[in-house]
Amino acid sequence: MSRGSVQSVYEVSPESSLELLSVNEMHWLIKQSEGELHELIRRCVLAVLNSGSNIDNAKEILDKYKDFDVKISWQRRGIRFKLINPPTEAFVDGEMIYGMREHLSAVVRDLVYSPNLFITNDNQELSEGTRISDFIFRILRNAETVSPARRPNLVVCWGGHSISEKEYKYTKKVGYEMGLRGLDICTGCGPGVMKGPMKGATISHAKHRNTNALYLGITEPGIIASEPPNPIVNHLVIMPDIEKRLEAFVRLAHSIVIFPGGVGTAEELLYLIGILLHPDNQSIPMQVILTGPKSSEDYFTQLDQFVRDTLGDEATNYYKIIIDDPCKVAQTVKRSIDEVTEFRIANNDSFHFNWRLKVGESWQLPFEPTHQSMSELNLSKDQPTHELALNLRKAFSGIVTGNVKPDGVAQIEQHGPFILRGSKEISSSLNKLLEGFIAAKRMTLPTREYVPCYKIEQ
């Protein structure tokens, strides 16, 4: 480490990724990092170094560290990261915290190398949708997060980063019970629900002397700054966009547990229900549990009613609601994973990646929330139910963008709130749900006053 009168500069080596590169690969990596990708790399590196911050607004973080920069140099023994004016919390006595070195390396790996995994000669004959699924698998394999040696045991946990203390403690209890049953945890890698189950599982994994536990965090560039990876994550993957992130979750998951959250959690639930409603996925086992402490029961009642009002009672058959019973949640998950294992053995399916699941191209192509695209969403029942679920998921995605993502926040500041137009029934249900989220302070951290980034019209 060296410090000048104006700048503080730290140099660190990569960890767990990018450690073995040829001289040619190092030169190529440096060239890529200095081009159009530089600003994206800078933002995402700043995010992982900002782990533990109580700021959930990406613009605020970027404004706070305007003078931060990252540069890559090379030596014959490997590359080095030069960090200029980084958050000091990432260091202890001048040495970067080990886990943050891992996350720093993962950022550069996924942002620089991942795009090239899509441009390969052996998938040119595939359909666009199949190519995208193949691309997602390659990213996960390159990050060493899929292993044919592991039997099904990965639980994806979804929920909000802004939750109450009671809810957070409950997620830890559920994680603890799942860890006792040898289950690994995958989340969106940030704070709140994305941290709690992992933290609980660390204790039970330690009791079993399980040193090979997987704490997988999957994020994407647009959200990582407002939800920096929590320090428990030992495998970080940055997907190119939210759609590929969501598909990675559902293809990796052997079971899914959804805790209290806000619009991001509603987006994930609608995405999942829409896929499970697709006729081609009717026979595929996938246990989905909505759970929280007794104090969160009203939240799940609201969410369940919204699903009934918009998608119909049939859609609620794809999940169970379990209130205030961590042990029952873990037992239910374990039994369901045993069923998944039997199904995949019987059908000669992969344990580590659900290739059988049908995810249509309309679910895979990135949705860019703009004032025009948000106003053009079809929020009515004159379409197949799974397509309505897709459009509702896009509406929630746009609200997330307007709430916390830098580009979305800038759009709202410049042009005012997004306008959502739907049928009277859908608009009324959507407005009621979102008002409940605002009243419960589920739109942002409790320390911030929420100003809606949307308006709903009939």
Distance CA 149, CA 423 (A): 50
295 in the same domain as 212: yes
379 in the same domain as 310: no
Distances (CA, A) of 380 to 23, 64, 388, 397, 421: 56, 42, 7, 17, 9
Is there a contact between 396 and 267 (Cβ–Cβ < 8 Å)?
yes
| pLDDT above 50: residue 2 | no
Give the model's confidence band at 64: pLDDT under 50 very low, under 70 low, under 90 confident, else very high.
confident
410 in the same domain as 353: no
| pLDDT above 90: residue 59 | no
Give the per-residue pLDDT at 78.
Answer: 87
Give the per-residue pLDDT at 122.
Answer: 64
**By C-alpha distance, which of 362, 371, 436 is closest to 393?**
362
Give the per-residue pLDDT at 47.
Answer: 85
Give the per-residue pLDDT at 1.
Answer: 42
Residue 380 lies in a domain: yes
Task: Give the number of other CB atoms < 10 A from CB of residue 338.
Answer: 13
Give the per-residue pLDDT at 3.
Answer: 43
427 in the same domain as 408: yes
450 in the same domain as 315: no
| pLDDT above 80: residue 342 | yes
356 in the same domain as 393: no
CATH number for the domain spanning 217: value is 3.40.50.450
Give the model's confidence band at 296: pLDDT under 50 very low, under 70 low, under 90 confident, else very high.
very high
Give the per-residue pLDDT at 367.
Answer: 93
DSSP 8-state code for residue 167: H
165 in the same domain as 197: yes
Q: What dihedral do alpha carbons 165, 59, 217, 241 form, nearest 10°?
A: 130
Distance CA 326, CA 177 (A): 7
| pLDDT above 50: residue 5 | no
Q: What are phi and psi of 307, to 5 degrees?
A: -60, -45
Domain that holds residue 61: 2-97
The SS3 of residue 410 is helix
Q: Side-chain half-sphere of 440: how many Cα atoms within 13 Å?
A: 23
Q: Which residue has the tokens 């739907």?
A: 422
Residue type, 204: S
Into how many domains does the chain fold?
3
pLDDT in tens, 81-97: 999 998 888 889 888 88
Q: Please list, residue by residue across 260-283, b when 16 or more beta carbons sit within 10 angstroms of its beta carbon and e when fewer do.
A: bbbbbbbbbbbbbbbbbbbeebee
Residue type, 263: V
68 in the same domain as 197: no
**By C-alpha distance, which of 178, 172, 209, 434 is closest to 303?**
434
Give the per-residue pLDDT at 36.
Answer: 84
Average pLDDT over all residues of the chain: 89
Please state the pTM of the whole predicted model. 0.89
Tokens of 360: 């249509």
Q: What dihedral do alpha carbons 202, 206, 212, 215 form, nearest 10°?
A: 0
380 in the same domain as 282: no
Residue 117 lies in a domain: no
Distance CA 187, CA 257 (A): 10
Distance CA 14, CA 101 (A): 6
Give the model's confidence band at 374: pLDDT under 50 very low, under 70 low, under 90 confident, else very high.
very high
Cα diameter, the chain: 66
Give the model's confidence band at 129: pLDDT under 50 very low, under 70 low, under 90 confident, else very high.
confident
Task: Give the number of other CB atoms < 10 A from CB of residue 372.
Answer: 10
293 in the same domain as 201: yes
pLDDT in tens, 424-458: 999 999 999 999 998 888 886 655 678 899 999 87
| Residue after which a domain boundary falls, among 340, 361, 382 | 361
Residue 105 lies in a domain: no
161 in the same domain as 259: yes
pLDDT in tens, 198-244: 999 999 999 999 999 999 999 998 888 777 889 899 999 999 999 99
Distance CA 68, CA 413 (A): 24
Residue 106 lies in a domain: no
382 in the same domain as 342: no
DSSP 8-state code for residue 453: S
Alpha helices in 54-164 (DSSP H): 58-64, 98-108, 114-118, 128-142
Give the per-residue pLDDT at 451.
Answer: 87
Residue 111 lies in a domain: no
Residue 424 lies in a domain: yes
| Residue after which a domain boundary falls, among 54, 82, 97 | 97
CATH number for the domain spanning 34: value is 3.30.1850.10
Distance CA 265, CA 276 (A): 17
Residue 342 lies in a domain: yes
Q: Which residue has the tokens 């999940």?
A: 319
Residue 120 lies in a domain: no
| Residue after which a domain boundary falls, among 361, 387, 418 | 361
- Give me the DSSP letters along 331-381: HHHHHHHHHHHHHHHHTT--SSS-TTS---HHHHSPP---HHHHHT--BSS
pLDDT in tens, 240-261: 999 999 999 999 999 999 999 9
